[in-house]
């Protein structure tokens, strides 16, 4: 269940889910059958990069560069784990 995320895996938005920017709420949301999740800024920063092309390692590197930070890997992996558990994300290998 809580197995470590393979940083070479390529996460993508899960089937039936859609990520989009909502101007009226000034927030990113995840939409799914009859439901909506409002995303925090950091959640959105991760999910918008989950395009099935970038690897988890790529995403961590990009975020560390974008936010001038280091050591984000464990936070990013924890969030990706959570998103996988909710089917918000799937892994493309």
Which of 7, 9, 12, 32 binds other proteins (CB under 8 A)? It is 32
Question: Which of 49, 75, 51 is CA-nearest to residue 62?
Answer: 49
Binding flag, residue 12, other proteins (CB under 8 A): no
Binding flag, residue 3, other proteins (CB under 8 A): no
To other proteins, the closest distance from the beta carbon of 45 in angstroms equals 21
Query: Measured from the CB atom, is 32 or 62 closer to other proteins?
Result: 32
To other proteins, the closest distance from the beta carbon of 31 in angstroms equals 4
Residues contributing to the site for other proteins (CB under 8 A) = 15-16, 18, 20, 22, 24-25, 29, 31-36
């Amino acid at each position: 269940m809580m197995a470590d995320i393979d940083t070479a895996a390529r996460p993508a938005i899960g089937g039936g889910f859609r990520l989009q920017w909502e101007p009226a709420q000034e927030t990113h949301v995840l939409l799914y059958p009859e439901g909506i999740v409002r995303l925090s800024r950091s959640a959105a920063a991760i999910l918008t990069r989950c395009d099935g092309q970038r690897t988890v390692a790529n995403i961590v590197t990009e975020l560390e560069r974008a936010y001038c930070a280091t050591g984000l890997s464990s936070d990013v992996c924890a969030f990706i784990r959570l998103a996988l558990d909710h089917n918000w994300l799937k892994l493309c290998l």
